[in-house]
Amino acid sequence: MTKAQTSATTGNSSYQYMHSYTYSDGKTIGPIAVLKVDDDNPFPSSQNLNAVQIVELGEVVIILLANIAINLTNLLNVGAVGSTADPAGGEQSNESQSADKATIIDALKSIEQKTADLHKLVSLGKAVVAKVEADAESGVGSFIKDKIEDIGEEIGDKIEKFGEKLAGKFSSKLSSSDGASTSSSTESSDTSSSTESTDDSDDESAGLTCVLKFLLEDIVKFLVGEAIKGILTDAGLYGEATSIRQYADQFQTIVVPNVVSTTNNDDAFAAQTVSGPNPLVIERVIDALPTNFAVEDAAYKKVMGADDSIEQAIADNRLYLTDYKALSVMKPGTFPQQKYISAPLALFAVAKGDSSGSLKSVALQVGQQPAANNPILYPFHGDSWDLGKVHVKAADGNFHELISHLGLTHLLIEPFAVSTHAKLGDNHPVFKLLLPHIQGTLFINNAAITSLVAPEGIVDRLLGGTIETDWQVTTGAVAAVNFNERMLPNQLASRNVADPALPLSYPYRDDALDVWGAIKLWVNDYLSIFYKGDAQVAADKALQSWVLDLTSDTGGCINGLGEDQGGQLGIYTLDYLIDVLTMVIFTASAQHATVNFPQLTTMSYTPAMPLAAYAPPPQSAAGTPSQSMLSTLPPLDQALVQLLLGQGLGGVYFTRLGDYNRHQQGNYFSDTKVQGALEVFRDNLDAVEERIGARNLKRPYYEHLLPSRIPQSINI
């Protein structure tokens, strides 16, 4: 260890904490430990999205725009099969074409042109990035870097202008009274767009942030605006669905997720608890069911077989529960319309003698408190059971987004990003190791707080609760975390599911433990190069300052982190430091991958995991419920926003676990000893990939913890 590495004053003082955030409407969130950003503390420029990320985000936006465009073309018979005399395949003449359709045509032309522009820029950006990586010794690195930055700015600027122009076109055209005024407004719009100035050109981060802003805000505001409500209704993209097929029809140029074929299947409902977007709630019943969930043994036998029983299933370690009581504080949201959210319980079991370990759905109760109007529902209850499942899936989706995703990955890692920059110097071995794993986190978290999870933002629109109770759930979950107990082996043990010998097929557990083990070996090998024993760890003043900052009530507010030595909290042993950094890297990479990327493969198809219910839960197990499935599922316009969110956030992979040299010249770690340890890490990740591949031949395919699909950090 060098003197600089043991100093406690080598960090960056511009990284400070704030513990609440107030929105423009006066609503305040907190307590929450995040980077302080205000007029006196601007967002650090080094934390903005880089040019490569802008290029990749631009590509995602192109895909989403194309999907929207094709949805709209269906109103015009574009692409329809027709005769030579009637190439459009329809009977409507030009004279009878409505102003709304003229609006669509102009909008499609705009989408086509702007998408082509973006595609050219993305292609150019990729080519330039490839040039830098392939010819690092060319001597033109700085020139190319500047060009990449210019491309990033231009992509952002064009996307932003495109959103404004397209929204303006729809708004102006729908207010036009005839075709002549429509044509005139088009020409005026096109002319003005070519000469308009860029008011935010002086903001150096504007071009870097507007791509994400466009993806998360502008497209959504455009799609849900009154200006095109009629058009979207005609296109089957707005209001209550009349057929379940309409949700799949929203995927035009985007591949429909595989879950479309199993959405209402009871076995798929059960499997989602161990391999879906939120495989972090299920727990094994070890003594008895909760007193507020009195599942009848006779009903259990009816579902699982006469030769089985609840008592026998508990004894055989075959009974499992999901309990969403953490959502009990949520109040049903009303933006943009009345929604419903519950805190249900659901029971699952492995059938007696089933060697596959597959779960079966047994029972559910939509509310925590049993009552005559809150019955326990079983699969033989038909429509009531199916509607109850929607409410359970909505709860799972809210738990996923607010706790498992936002709270226990994004916001749990944020303090490590702040304190690592504030308390550790650039040449500190812990700083060097963690930097790639906290890259982009402060940017995406700031965007989430200020936009995505803001009042009347996308989370407020889609999730079941009010924005105030959404934040209450998230901040409560973060505050309740005990860092040491949250380490993967410990959190699995706390749910009584850690033992791989249990008669339960649990893909998340098996794959996560493999990845955790590979990361821990890498951290051990890396730290052993710089610390020769516990004494050096304890003597590292910068490291001790880092821990104190992370655990302080005025700092990171992380509970349960550190070792206690004579009443002084710190990190005093090499083994514990290895555990801490393993936990940080695993959470920032694998754990986030676990909950982020299923947003694309599962959650973008709304019926698979609706983020709110739009009708009350069934109040009786018998008879036909007053609410239908389609009135309980989100309206089509909400589903379209959920599709965009899931595809946008779940479809971008900027980096890859273990690939520290990506997008840079030379090796990230210059020490040859580190290079040797890194090669071992990569070999271990390859071995994990092969083991997961072998498991996937014998179980339902689970891809989210394949090392090749795990990014280094939380950067989307």
> What is the pLDDT at residue 45?
86
The distance in angstroms from the start CA to the end CA of the chain is 34
Distance CA 388, CA 363 (A): 10
Q: What percent of the chain has pLDDT over 70?
A: 78
Residues 6+ apart with CB under 8 A from 579: 484, 487, 520
Q: Name the pLDDT band for 123 (thresholds 50, 70, 90).
A: low
pLDDT tens digits, one per residue of 295-338: 999 999 999 999 999 999 999 999 999 999 999 999 999 999 99
> What is the pLDDT at residue 156?
54
pLDDT at 136 over 60: no
Q: Is 524 exposed, middle or buried (0-12, 13-18, 19+ CB in 10 A)?
A: middle
Report the pLDDT averaged over residues 420-428.
96
Q: Name the pLDDT band for 221 (thresholds 50, 70, 90).
A: confident
Q: What percent of the chain has pLDDT over 90?
A: 68
Distance CA 510, CA 712 (A): 20
Q: What are 481's two structure tokens?
A: 């975390």
Q: Name the pLDDT band for 545 (thresholds 50, 70, 90).
A: very high
Report the pLDDT averaged over residues 639-643.
95
> What is the pLDDT at residue 662?
84
Distance CA 351, CA 360 (A): 7
Distance CA 145, CA 141 (A): 6
Query: Tokens 């995927």 correspond to what residue?
Result: 251
Class of domain 1-30+276-603+655-716: mainly alpha
pLDDT at 633 over 60: yes
Q: Are 419 and 35 in contact (CB under 8 A)?
A: no
Q: Is 83 exposed, middle or buried (0-12, 13-18, 19+ CB in 10 A)?
A: exposed
Phi/psi-derived region of residue 30, left when phi > 0, alpha when psi is between -120 and 50, beta in every other case? left
Q: Where in the chain is the domain with CATH 1.20.245.10?
A: 1-30+276-603+655-716
> Which of 687, 685, 688, 658 minimizes the C-alpha distance to 674?
658
Distance CA 398, CA 469 (A): 11
Strands 319-323 and 17-18: unpaired
pLDDT tens digits, one per residue of 464-491: 999 999 999 999 999 999 999 999 999 9
Q: Is 680 helix (H, G, I), strand (E, B) or coil?
A: helix
Q: Are 361 and 269 in contact (CB under 8 A)?
A: yes
Q: Are 503 and 316 in contact (CB under 8 A)?
A: yes
Q: Are 593 and 587 in contact (CB under 8 A)?
A: no
Q: What are 517's two structure tokens?
A: 């083990």
Q: What are 710's two structure tokens?
A: 């795990």
Q: Strands (DSSP E) along 515-589, which ranges?
A: 563-565, 568-570
DSSP 258-316: GGGGTTT-HHHHHHHHHHSS-TTS-EE-SS---TT----HHHHHHHH-TT--HHHHHHT
Sign of CA dihedral 636, 639, 644, 645: positive
> What is the pLDDT at residue 464?
98
Task: Enumerate the H helices of 74-140 as residue ranges.
Answer: 99-134
pLDDT tens digits, one per residue of 248-299: 999 998 999 999 999 999 999 999 999 999 999 999 999 999 999 999 999 9
Residues 6+ apart with CB under 8 A from 181: none
- Within a 10 A sphere around the Cβ of 482, how many other Cβ atoms? 14
Cα-Cα-Cα-Cα dihedral of 258, 263, 267, 270, to 10°? 100
> What is the pLDDT at residue 224?
79
Q: Are 404 and 597 in contact (CB under 8 A)?
A: no
> What is the pLDDT at residue 66?
77
Strands 359-365 and 345-350: antiparallel
Q: What are 119's two structure tokens?
A: 């595609």
Residues 6+ apart with CB under 8 A from 422: 11, 12, 13, 15, 16, 549
Least-confidence region, from 35-39, 167-171, 361-365, 604-608: 167-171
Q: What are 457's two structure tokens?
A: 């933002």
Number of residues written out for the chain: 716
Q: Is 439 helix (H, G, I), strand (E, B) or coil?
A: coil
Distance CA 428, CA 527 (A): 11
> What is the pLDDT at residue 548?
97
pLDDT tens digits, one per residue of 677-692: 999 999 999 999 999 9
pLDDT tens digits, one per residue of 46-62: 898 777 777 777 778 77
Strands 34-35 and 283-284: unpaired
Distance CA 361, CA 349 (A): 7
> What is the pLDDT at residue 425?
94
Task: Enumerate the H helices of 568-635 as residue ranges.
Answer: 574-586, 592-596, 598, 629-632
Q: What are 29's two structure tokens?
A: 């969130």
Q: Is 522 exposed, middle or buried (0-12, 13-18, 19+ CB in 10 A)?
A: buried
Q: At 29, which amino acid appears?
A: I
Report the pLDDT averaged over residues 188-213.
41
Q: At 402, which amino acid appears?
A: L
> What is the pLDDT at residue 204?
38
Task: Enumerate the H helices of 597-656 as residue ranges.
Answer: 598, 629-632, 636-650
Highest average pLDDT, of 17-26, 645-654, 660-669, comes from 17-26
DSSP 467-517: HHHHHHHHHHHHHT--HHHHSHHHHHHHTT---TTSS---HHHHHHHHHHH
pLDDT at 24 over 80: yes
Report the pLDDT averaged over residues 143-150.
53
Q: Are 704 and 404 in contact (CB under 8 A)?
A: no
SS (H, E, C) 367-398: CCCCECCECCECHHHCHHHHHHHHHHHHHHHH
Q: What is the mean pLDDT of the chain?
A: 85
Query: Tokens 């605006």 correspond to what residue?
Result: 225
Q: Are 245 and 264 in contact (CB under 8 A)?
A: no
Query: Tokens 């020490």 correspond to what residue?
Result: 671
Highest average pLDDT, of 79-83, 199-203, 416-420, 444-448, comes from 416-420
> Which of 531, 542, 518, 514 minimizes the C-alpha distance to 577?
531
Q: Name the pLDDT band for 152 (thresholds 50, 70, 90).
A: low
